[in-house]
């Protein structure tokens, strides 16, 4: 009993089990590579797939450990585990426990899984980073086996089933799974780092440079490139090690989504804008710069010099949705209306308030305020005409139509008592009338399209003398809307529509005031 070679007994037993089930066990002649057997399973291809698409038979590596005592663990050389861990094939450690009469009492099969891979690779990294670095074959690592690893019976059939359970989707899928583990385990967002030293006198340029506010290379001294895994840094040798000093552009893309809120107190949000916030990793005594912006405006906040620069980024000729322009310019309106009250901007990123800006000294919003007032009128007109405020316009179009928007707004919403007109008829008219209708066509020009409508004023007609009347409005109707491509605009088609409306008015028994028929407002021109 004292002279038995229990290690050889374990290997022979394992080979016998493989022979029982038709699995080829290729023995390693010299155990230098961490495995005792390379197993090759028989081809069990599925007949429903073409040969060139079938998976490869299972191949796996086995390290055999035999013992006369069940200690629940075993010391294995780190060099052997390194080979098993880094192999793309399934790898296992087979533990077999012998009784006193040289029979295998129980056996355990431990799969080299993600947990063990991490344990081994971290130990290797720790050794390499140590000042007392050793060869891997001089270091041992403890691998444990538990009840969950135990074979229900020490037979080839049970062993084969256990091995196949770890490769449920075939070899190709397993190799991808293990390769992914090896490429990702132990890494985090700080995988690579390099220490860079700057001159304090250049810090403002560096901050502006990193935010893209200034294109200027700055001098920098490079440290070593470090690779981090399992929170352990190791020097990664590159050509930069021999450079030392150089100059570079340090623009940093660190942009997060946030919200800009206009408030008058903590629980009152008057406006809310979605913005992108660009940060820099550089600062001076804890103070720095950052930028928040969207397609309408940009704020550059300088906490070092306690400055805020506001810039409009909206394009004069680009097209925007009407409701977007209205919301953007509403800021100026609220600020004007709330004069004397405390207003401030609050910037939120990831639900945290990172900045509060006092607006008591804010200025330079007159253009924005003018845009808002016109846009509000246009929006009210669109709502009245039932035109979707999603309609796109440009600020250029808006400014070109300001006076016409004002006129149309007054025609639709103005004081009825102010709409009077004295008319004289040139035609011979024998019939007198007491009621009349003023039919006024009106057009706005956006995006090379004519947005048109008709305003109808029903009026009392007061006969002055002969064929002269004074018309006093008493009711107003807005007649729908129509959009016409400017290139297809035809005065004749407009007159046809007007005639149809006129006929409908006449059917109501109300005379149409003829002189008004002679006027067509088309982009401010009276024809």
pLDDT tens digits for 130-159? 989 999 999 999 999 999 999 999 999 999
Residue of 278, 253, 268, 254 lying closest to 346 (CA atoms): 268
CA distance 502 to 524: 22
Q: Is the pLDDT reported for residue 99 higher than 60?
A: yes
Q: What are the tens digits of pLDDT across the range 380-389?
A: 999 998 888 8
Residue of 27, 120, 25 lying closest to 78 (CA atoms): 120
Higher pLDDT, 171 or 340: 171
Backbone angles phi, psi at 11, to 5 degrees: -65, -40
| Residues found in the chain | 527
The pLDDT value given to residue 440: 80
The pLDDT value given to residue 217: 72
CA distance 154 to 84: 23
Mean pLDDT within 479-484: 77
DSSP string, 470-505: EEEEEEEEEEEEEEEEGGG--HHHHHHHHHHHHHHH
% residues pLDDT > 70 (the chain): 86
The pLDDT value given to residue 526: 29
The confidence band for 450, taking pLDDT boundaries of 50, 70 and 90, is confident
Contact 277, 349 (CB under 8 A): yes
Q: Is the pLDDT reported for residue 268 higher than 90?
A: no
Q: What are the tens digits of pLDDT across the range 342-363?
A: 788 888 888 888 888 777 666 6
Can you list the pairs that 375-380 forms with residues at least 24 positions away whose Cβ atoms lie under 8 Å?
375/322, 375/325, 375/326, 375/329, 376/326, 376/333, 377/405, 377/406, 377/409, 378/322, 378/405, 379/322, 379/323, 379/326, 380/409, 380/413
The confidence band for 428, taking pLDDT boundaries of 50, 70 and 90, is low
Contact 441, 494 (CB under 8 A): yes
Q: What are the tens digits of pLDDT across the range 152-176?
A: 999 999 999 999 999 998 999 999 9
Residue of 274, 252, 169 lying closest to 208 (CA atoms): 252
Q: Is the pLDDT reported for residue 523 higher than 70?
A: no
Contact 426, 515 (CB under 8 A): no
CA distance 407 to 470: 22
Q: Is the pLDDT reported for residue 524 higher than 60?
A: no
CA distance 149 to 166: 12
Residue indicated by tokens 């629980």? 267
Mean pLDDT within 271-288: 87
Q: Is the pLDDT reported for residue 54 higher than 60?
A: yes
The pLDDT value given to residue 286: 85
Of 162-176, 423-437, 445-459, the range with the lowest mean pLDDT is: 423-437
Mean pLDDT within 312-332: 89
Q: Is the pLDDT reported for residue 427 higher than 70?
A: no
Residue indicated by tokens 């899984």? 113
Q: What is the mean pLDDT of the chain?
A: 83
Mean pLDDT within 453-468: 83
| Residue 304: CB atoms within 10 Å | 16
- The two three-digit tokens of residue 37, written as one number: 């057997």
Q: Is the pLDDT reported for residue 394 higher than 80?
A: yes
- The two three-digit tokens of residue 408, written as one number: 């149309």
Mean pLDDT within 490-500: 70
pTM to 2 decimals? Answer: 0.55
CA distance 271 to 263: 7
CA torsion sign for 344, 349, 351, 352 is: negative
The pLDDT value given to residue 236: 75
Contact 169, 99 (CB under 8 A): no
Contacts of 141 (CB under 8 A, 6+ apart): 75, 76, 77, 78, 81, 119, 120, 123
The confidence band for 235, taking pLDDT boundaries of 50, 70 and 90, is confident
CA distance 123 to 112: 15
CA distance 168 to 230: 30
Which domains are present in the chain? 6-184 (3.40.1350.10), 192-248 (no CATH), 256-371 (no CATH), 407-526 (no CATH)
CA distance 107 to 94: 7
Mean pLDDT within 295-323: 87
Rg (CA), the chain: 42
Q: Is the pLDDT reported for residue 492 higher than 80?
A: no
The confidence band for 110, taking pLDDT boundaries of 50, 70 and 90, is very high
CA distance 290 to 255: 10
Environment class of residue 166 by beta-carbon count within 10 Å: exposed (0-12), middle (13-18) or buried (19+)? middle
Contact 459, 472 (CB under 8 A): yes
| Residue 136: CB atoms within 10 Å | 19
Residues in a beta bridge with 270: none
The pLDDT value given to residue 63: 94
Contact 136, 64 (CB under 8 A): no
Q: Is the pLDDT reported for residue 246 higher than 60?
A: no
Mean pLDDT within 194-217: 76
Contact 104, 154 (CB under 8 A): yes
Q: Is the pLDDT reported for residue 525 higher than 60?
A: no
CA distance 178 to 174: 6
Q: Is the pLDDT reported for residue 279 higher than 60?
A: yes
CA dihedral 439, 445, 448, 453 (to 10 degrees): -30
Expressed in percent and rounded to 5, the helix, strand and coil fractions of the chain are: 30, 35, 30
The confidence band for 214, taking pLDDT boundaries of 50, 70 and 90, is confident
Q: Is the pLDDT reported for residue 1 higher than 50?
A: no
């Amino acid at each position: 009993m004292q002279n038995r070679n229990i290690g050889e007994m374990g290997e022979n037993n394992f080979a016998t089990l493989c022979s029982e089930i038709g699995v080829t066990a290729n023995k390693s002649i010299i155990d230098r590579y961490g495995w005792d057997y390379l197993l090759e399973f028989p081809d069990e291809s599925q007949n429903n797939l073409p040969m060139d698409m079938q998976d490869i038979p299972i191949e796996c590596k086995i390290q055999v450990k035999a013992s006369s005592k069940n200690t629940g663990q075993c010391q294995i050389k780190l060099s052997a585990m390194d080979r098993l861990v880094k192999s793309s094939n399934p790898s296992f450690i087979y533990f077999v426990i012998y009784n006193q009469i040289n029979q295998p009492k129980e056996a355990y099969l431990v799969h080299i899984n993600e947990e063990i891979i991490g344990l081994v690779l971290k130990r290797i990294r720790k050794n390499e980073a140590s000042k007392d670095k050793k060869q891997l074959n001089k270091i041992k690592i403890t691998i444990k086996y538990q009840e969950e690893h135990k074979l229900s019976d020490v037979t080839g059939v049970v062993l084969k089933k256990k091995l196949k359970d770890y490769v449920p989707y075939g070899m190709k899928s397993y190799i991808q799974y293990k390769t992914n583990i090896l490429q990702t385990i132990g890494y985090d967002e700080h995988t690579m780092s390099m220490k860079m030293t700057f001159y304090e006198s250049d810090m403002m340029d560096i901050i502006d440079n990193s935010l893209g506010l200034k294109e200027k290379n700055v001098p920098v001294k490079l440290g070593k490139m470090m690779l981090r895994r399992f929170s352990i840094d190791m020097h990664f040798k590159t050509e930069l090690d021999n450079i030392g000093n150089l100059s570079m552009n340090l623009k940093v893309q660190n942009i997060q989504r946030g919200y800009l809120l206009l408030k008058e107190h903590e629980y009152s949000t008057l406006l809310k804008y979605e913005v992108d916030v660009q940060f820099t990793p550089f600062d001076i005594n804890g103070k720095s710069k950052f930028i928040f912006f969207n397609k309408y405006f940009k704020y550059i906040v300088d906490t070092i010099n306690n400055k805020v620069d506001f810039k409009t980024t909206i394009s004069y000729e680009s097209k925007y949705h009407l409701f977007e322009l209205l919301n953007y310019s509403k800021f100026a309106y609220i600020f004007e209306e709330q004069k004397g009250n405390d207003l401030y901007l609050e910037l939120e990123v990831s639900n945290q308030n990172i900045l509060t800006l006092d607006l008591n000294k804010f200025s330079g919003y007159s253009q924005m305020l003018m845009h808002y007032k016109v846009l509000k009128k246009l929006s009210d007109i669109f709502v009245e005409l039932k035109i979707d405020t999603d309609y796109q316009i440009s600020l250029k179009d808006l400014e070109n139509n300001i006076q016409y928007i004002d006129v149309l707004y007054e025609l639709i919403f103005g004081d009825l008592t102010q709409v009077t007109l004295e008319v004289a008829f040139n035609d011979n008219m024998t019939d007198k009338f007491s009621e009349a209708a003023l039919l006024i066509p009106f057009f706005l020009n956006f995006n090379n399209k004519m947005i048109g409508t008709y305003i109808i004023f029903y009026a009392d007609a007061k006969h002055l003398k002969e064929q002269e009347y004074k018309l006093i409005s008493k009711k107003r109707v807005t007649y729908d809307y129509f959009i016409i491509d400017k290139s297809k605009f035809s005065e004749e088609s407009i007159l046809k529509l007007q005639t149809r409306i006129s006929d409908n008015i006449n059917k109501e028994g109300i005379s149409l005031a003829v002189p008004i028929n002679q006027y067509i407002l088309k982009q401010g021109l009276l024809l």
